[in-house]
Copies of this chain bind each other. A is one copy, B any other.
Amino acid sequence: MIVKKFFLAVIAVLICQLGFAQKLTSYVDPFIGTGAVDGTSLSGSNFPGATVPFGFVQVSPDTDNEIFSPASGYNYNDKTIVGFSHTHLSGTGVADLFDVLLMPASGNLKWSPGDENKPGSGYRSAFSHQQETARPGYYQVNLLDYNINAELTATEHAGFHRYTFNGDGPARIMVDLDHSLSKKRDYWVCRILGAEIRKVDDHTIEGYRIITGWARMRRVYFHAKFSKPITNHEMAWGTHNIINKPVINGTDIVRAAFNFDVKKGEQVLVKVGLSSVSVNNARENLNSEIKGWDFDAVVKRADALWEKELSNIRIDAADAVKKIFYTGLYHLYIQPNNTADVNGEYQGSDMEVKKSLTKKHYSTFSLWDTYRAAHPMYTLLKPSKDAEFINSLIKQYESYGYLPIWQLWNDENYCMIGNHSIPVIVDAVVKGIKGFNLEKAYEAVKNSSLTDHPGSPFKYLHQYGYFPEELESQSVSKGLEIAFNDWCVAQFAKKLGKNDDYNFFMKRASYIKNIYDSKTGFFRGKNKDGKWLEPFHPLQYGGNGGNPYTEGNAWQYLWYVPHDIPGMIDLFGGREKFIIKLDEFFTTAGGEDAKNENASGFIGQYAHGNEPSHHTAYLYNYAGQPWKTQQRVAEIMDKFYTTDAAGYSGNEDCGQMSAWYIFSAMGFYPVNPANGVYDIGSPRLNKATIDLENGKQFTVVAHNAGGKNIYVQSVSLNGVAYNKNYILHSDILKGGRLVFEMGPSPSYGWAKKAISYK
């Protein structure tokens, strides 16, 4: 037996070395998603900087101090960099964070810190993509104006900068605490309430800023060390400029410049610890994570952490697909971010200092996006972490009385609609994920569905059976999404044997019938007198208020009944009418003049650039035409995912856009992201092997996948012919092998037999 085991081990090592010789991190290109295609879509809004998985600190170059479009701070099409700040959002539509900007410069520069027209301490530098590299945990750029090679890496709570001064001296490093969501951005009031920079000794600075922005109030403390002694320095608050004093304290424009004696080619390293609690914690974070000055060791550690995080799914596919796939996974693991310090403390939702015994408290939950596919992907690949996320969501419930809608820096910003912590939790419950308290979780989802709060005035639902648009705008989108939430609560109630609750929420979920207009065949806005709003134009878009539809139009919200697709088909008048409508959806042009800026990535009215459309290509499955699902899904992967900077067709949205691809490329997708069912589409990976957390392995093979072979010819599971049009999460958990035979034409044989989930 021992000999046999040894033999197997040797084989395994050989397989690893041969089959997976190339590191998975090598397929990650952090530049994907950092630029827009052109004026017709949004950037993916990703950043190319350095971070470890789910890290608190994510240090990245910012190319624009004025408008922050994209919200990540970095636009691939920009020509200059204003500096490197330590916190970023990945893929969001709204900007915030950008804490503690550092910018190196050299030469005889005029220090004009108080000049608002000179952002980033006024030391913007040109850069070139030819002299710029990025990989997980590492970023490098040559700052052309100064001939400074800037390199960045990160640990969980600290950014590490290595600046090589190849130009003429003197060398200086600016610290800018004013750098933030611009005050010119008219839809949000951003103010620095207080800021401080202190020189502690020749090698050390620390300080903080208190900022109100998209997050209502953030306290950001930092502690930083330089590898060389500061020779002299200047600090400024606005026009108050002081030289060689230990501290500056003010609001808004608070900046400092530290000067160093360097020879040409010499390096200055800076390591910066952050905390939401105190300078002491920032110091502790830094000291425990970066002990010396070995920059390369920190890069290596970050890479190893990424490799480990990525490695429980290994794929065989074309290089471009691998690049999109693993970069997608990388984007999926950029957030949620662990906001707890190394000692477990963090700023809670009530702005008090809290302590986590597990040293974990996650934030940045873009739930309206991520409940769809990103969280289901966590349930598959990172179920323990999903439980930790849920515990963090419940913490906010304890503070607010309802679950997060869009949580940033442990605070609610009420962005978007619905209460999509609910499907996240119910999905985990349905999938049997352990690690959170079920009764508490039920209390949270129930109270989130009964306690009126912004975007959720349930009283109107109870009084009118729908949201009258004049009382609650975005009434159609909210009505539909809350109905799905209600269905989720009902399933959870049923599981716990709470039948009254089950009936109550199932009934309320059915209220969507009250906003379906069978005459036009659309879900439509009604006023409180029960009249349909006129005039009605199904191509007309709404934004985030003032219209029944949210960042979309009547076409895009027509399909939002993910929990009862057979019911929806009935409502629309049967399968044939449903298919006609779906075909029309994918082929109807127009509406561009009325469209919302979030809509892009069009196939007819389908808009892959924003989330409401994401499940719709899979709906053909339910009406007996799975080949159309396969064709549309393949088309979307082909058209809207590339390896370019403009690799996404809109905001990447904290992993959702990536998760759509990762699922679809494997061959299935959670149309209902809370029932443990994945609907089969058009796989394009030759093979994908998932090491499940339960120790089992699940492998998906797609013979002949790729190119024109987008159609499923037949399927087998563990060697047995499989004619379901879906696969259950519970079946995946058993481990096994799902094999697709792919071909260039629809296989009406398999497809006609294929059973849809009901």
Contact = CB atoms under 8 A, between A and B. Distances in A.
A734 interface: no
A454 B353 CA distance: 32
A237 B452 CA distance: 10
A240 B457 contact: yes
Residue in A216, A352, A411 whose Cβ sees the most chain B Cβ within 10 Å: A352
Nearest to A236: B452
Interface in A381-409: 399-401
Given A216-B251, A351-B210, A399 B196 contact: yes
Contacts of A208: 350-352
Contacts of A447: 245
A193 B212 CA distance: 8
B217 A194 contact: yes
Contacts of A221: 352
A241 interface: yes
Interface in A421-466: 447, 451-454, 457, 459
Given A193-B212, A208-B350, A208-B351, A399 B249 contact: yes
A353 B191 CA distance: 22
A247 interface: yes
Interface string A147-162: 0000000000000000
A278 interface: yes
B210 A401 contact: no
B247 A399 contact: yes
Contact of A401 (B219, B246, B451): B246
A191 B217 CA distance: 11
A248 interface: yes
A242 interface: yes
A305 interface: no
A454 B237 contact: yes
B217 A247 contact: no
A279 interface: yes
A194 B240 contact: no
A210 B219 contact: no
Contacts of A349: 249
A453 B240 contact: yes
Contact of A400 (B241, B249, B352, B401): B249
A221 B351 CA distance: 10
Contacts of A350: 194, 196, 208, 279
A235 to B, nearest CB: 9
Contacts of A459: 241
Nearest to A196: B350
Interface string A326-362: 0000000000000000000000011111000000000
A251 B399 CA distance: 14
Contact of A353 (B193, B241, B245, B278): B278
Interface size class of A (residues with CB under 8 A): 35 or more
A241 B451 CA distance: 9
Contacts of A250: 454
A453 B401 CA distance: 44
A521 to B, nearest CB: 34
Contact of A245 (B277, B278, B451): B451
Contacts of A399: 196, 247, 249
A459 B236 CA distance: 13
Nearest to A411: B194
Contacts of A452: 240-242
Interface string A179-193: 000000000000101
Given A237-B453, A249-B400, A352 B279 contact: yes
Contact of A454 (B217, B240, B241, B352): B240
A540 to B, nearest CB: 27
B217 A193 contact: yes
Contact of A247 (B279, B401, B457): B401
Contact of A193 (B216, B251, B279, B400): B216
B216 A194 contact: yes
Contacts of A219: 351-352
Interface string A193-206: 11010000000000
Given A350-B279, A452-B241, A453-B240, A401 B248 contact: yes
A261 B717 CA distance: 67
A245 B210 CA distance: 32
Given A351-B208, A399-B247, A399-B249, A451 B217 contact: no
Interface string A204-234: 0000101010001101010000000000000
A1 to B, nearest CB: 59
A248 B245 CA distance: 45
Contact of A351 (B194, B216, B453): B194
12 contacts: A193-B217, A196-B399, A210-B351, A221-B352, A240-B454, A241-B459, A242-B451, A245-B451, A249-B401, A250-B454, A278-B352, A279-B352
Give the top 4 A-B pairs by smallest Cβ distance, nearest first. Answer: A247-B401, A249-B400, A193-B216, A193-B217
Given A240-B457, A247-B399, 10 more contacts: A193-B212, A194-B350, A194-B351, A196-B400, A210-B217, A237-B453, A240-B453, A241-B459, A245-B451, A249-B412
